[in-house]
Structure 1
Amino acid sequence: MEMKDGSKPFLLKNIPDKNYNIIIEKNSYSLVNDYTLFDTQRSLKFNTHYTLVKNILVTSSESSLTIEKLDKDSLILSQNIKGFEAKDLHKYFYVRKDILLQNLENNKKDTLVATSVSGPRPKFSITKRHLKDLTRQKPLPLTERSMNYRFNGNIYINLQSNSISIELKDYEKSFINNIEKKYKELTKLSNWNLSSVKRFKIIKIPFAFESYYELSDEVESYGEVYHFYSTDFNSFLDNSPSREQLANSNSFFKKGVEEYQKNNLELAVDLFEKAYKVNPHNLDAYYNSASISFAIGKTEKACKILEYLKLEGQKTAENDYNSKCQK
């Protein structure tokens, strides 16, 4: 996946570890996460209806997907949303799942290190997250609150002996009883969909698990999160801005536009800078700050912003940096 202008997705972590999967049917398509790839159970939550007009999947009066390439092996789709620039829109590169599986089988190895493409996938509910608004609800009693612990390792499924074993790697010994109870559901053969991996003798599935409980003045959050196909605990980290960050950043951004329209350029730059500092994902705030900085003679500041964006894979910033900042 990349942006339509060729940029990398801005500050989006772990892209190499993710698979953005799609199932296209006659009048709708489904986006499927890497845990449920091509299983028969599909969540209507991710189902989008479309009308095909030439090579465009029209999803609304203001949005669509363009089929840029379609052949027997691959598909390229690009996003269109009214009012959005190419740097803010995605381009998706898809390969047929059966081709990827065939490539794995051609390696002729007895052991498969599982991926989100190959599977296998669990049949049970693997992740449970809860978020409570404490302005409307009471928090959980102390005795019902989740414990904060985590562990990772590898699941080994032996298809010859029909057995499953767990290899723990990183864990706190004080929680071993909780851990052993938790991974029991992973060792039941009936809990796994093994249809895509029957040719192999042994399946190795890297995984990580985290149980968490967090409490603030207004919000209580807790849950149990699995991440399969990787032992990296950082996979749990969500670097998306909070609602509060988004609101504050958008407020600074709006005020920046207002001051720019009044020709208060110095103040506008300060406000756009505050906007991207509160929410580092606010890409337009960076560009606006750089553009106005050039206009008021603060070339060094503008070039620093463009250089940062260039290093983060932003093509527009790279072009501007090369034309305006290179000596």
Structure 2
Amino acid sequence: MKMRLLFLFFISFSLNCNSQIEHNHLINEWYIYKIEMQDGSKPFLLKDIHSSKHYSIIIDKTDYYLVNDQQLIETRKDPVFKTKYNLIGNKLITSPESYLTIEKLNKDSLILSQNIKGFESKDLQRYYYVRKVLAIEEEIKKNEKKDTLRATSILGPRFRPFLIRRMLKDLTNTKPLKEKLPNFKFNGYILINLKRETIDIKLNEYDKNFINEINLKNQQFYKFSNWNFSSVSNFEVIKIPFSFVSYYTLDTEIETYGDVCNLFTLHFLTDFDPTYEEVKKSTALFTKALQEYKKNNYTKAIEFFDLSYQINPKNLDAYYNSADINFALGEKNRACKIWHYLKLEGQKFAENQYELNCN
């Protein structure tokens, strides 16, 4: 058993010009088009890398920026994240415990892979980038003879208001809302006619019981002033796929509610980064599970591992540890159920375990 805590990993770099790497190629604006784990797995519970929290990068001679993919469409003003970086050989040093390896670098493409002390290949990511200008040129080429553009994160209008809202209330200090908020979701297409200056919305998947709430949420999209069309002004009609989730959860300690809207995809993307409270609670349960395991209290260890990933669904090691102990105790069906779930989520190690032990 190993203790590996999930945490948000924002990459920080600094530059050394004496490096053997052709660092002039590195200094560019890079568009991310693929993420995978180093063992070939898909990033856990990540349905679409171009949701609003997955970032492309801009690198110049002294600074590194994480930017939302939509921000790459226009001139950047306020980068999401900025830091110094350090380039030594083919390694971008992030800290004494971590660095990024440049696996491929030329004037058009870049591949970076994570290295963090104590982490296994299934926990480390590999990032694939192409030069932003090439990604845009490719999208323009695909649509050069079309009046209607099916917008993507690399070629589409920019929506100015923030599209994700999350409220988290600690019920030890505050009281819950008087009325529980409804949970509903819907998706469809925003149809914008630039010539006529009209906006229409065609719903695809939705619950008719929430049509009033849906219409209220959609009001923001009908305002022309909320959009910037500078990058797509040569098209007559813009078709934008989108998804919207309005959520509410309540447990004994925390009340959470808000909205998640994602442009350029029909997927219902609610894969939040775990909150500090969720990570803290999940980690405490993970630690209790390890303690019970060391005391040979295996049933209790399973209970705590299961609670750990229920509170933080991205705690991948909690799933694996629960499956391993269940299998060792002869609870093959329980172990195989977990491995099968992880297999369906694209986890190679779980796929191997399932094929070896469950068929």
Partner of 1:325: 357
Letter in structure 2 aligned against 1:122: F
Change (3 A) 1:17 1:275: same
Q: Say whether 1:200 aligns with 2:235.
A: yes
Give me the whole-angstrom Cα distance separating, in 1, the residues matched to 2:292 and 2:182.
49
Match of 1:114 among 140, 143, 151: 151
**Corresponding residue for 1:29?**
64
From the superposition, tell whether residues 308 and 152 of structure 1 become closer, same or farther in structure 2 (CA, over 3 Å): closer
1:184: Cα distance to partner? Answer: 5.1
Q: What SS does the aligned partner of 2:241 have?
A: strand
Distance 2:121 2:132 in 1: 28
Flag structure 1 segments of 5+ consecutive residues without an equivalent.
none
CA contact (8 A) 2:63 2:82 kept: yes
Is the 2:73–2:155 contact (alpha carbons within 8 Å) kept by the matching residues of 1? no
Q: Deviations over 1:130-149 (max 9, x none)?
A: 3343544567798xx98877
Shift of 1:8: 1.5
Please, what TM-score do these two structures have when normalized by structure 1? 0.75
TM-score by length of 2: 0.70
CA distance in 2, matches of 1:253, 1:154: 42
Structure 2 match to 1:67: 102
Asked whether the 8 Å contact 2:308–2:318 carries over to 1, the reply is no
Distance 1:321 1:126, change over 3 A: closer
Q: 1:96 to 1:171 in 2, by over 3 A?
A: farther
Tell me if the contact between 1:164 and 1:188 (Cα under 8 Å) persists in the aligned partners: no
2:195 aligned to which of 156, 160, 177? 160
* C-alpha contact (below 8 Å) 1:151/1:168 kept by paired residues: no
Change (3 A) 1:274 1:138: closer
Look up the match of 2:298: 268
Which of 42, 48, 54 is equivalent to 1:15? 48
Give the match's secondary structure for 1:59.
strand
Match of 1:258 in 2: 291
Q: Identity across aligned pairs (percent)? A: 48
Name the SS for the 2:230 alignment partner: coil
Distance in 1 of aligned mates of 2:304 and 2:317: 12
Partner of 1:282: 315
Report the number of matched residues: 315
Q: How has the CA–CA distance of structure 1 residues 153 and 305 changed in structure 2, closer, same or farther, with 3 Å as cutoff?
A: closer
Shift of 1:227: 2.4
CA contact (8 A) 1:276 1:286 kept: yes
User: Which protein has the larger Cα radius of gyration, Structure 1 or Structure 2?
Assistant: 1
Distance 1:82 1:275 in 2: 23
Unaligned runs of 5+ in 2: 1-34
Post-superposition Cα deviations, 1:201-260, rounded to whole Å, max 9, x if no partner, equal 21112234456666666545454543222345x32x346667676555544533443354
The Cα of 1:296 is off from its aligned counterpart by: 6.3
Q: Secondary structure at the match of 1:99?
A: helix
Cα separation, 1, equivalents of 2:124 and 2:151: 31
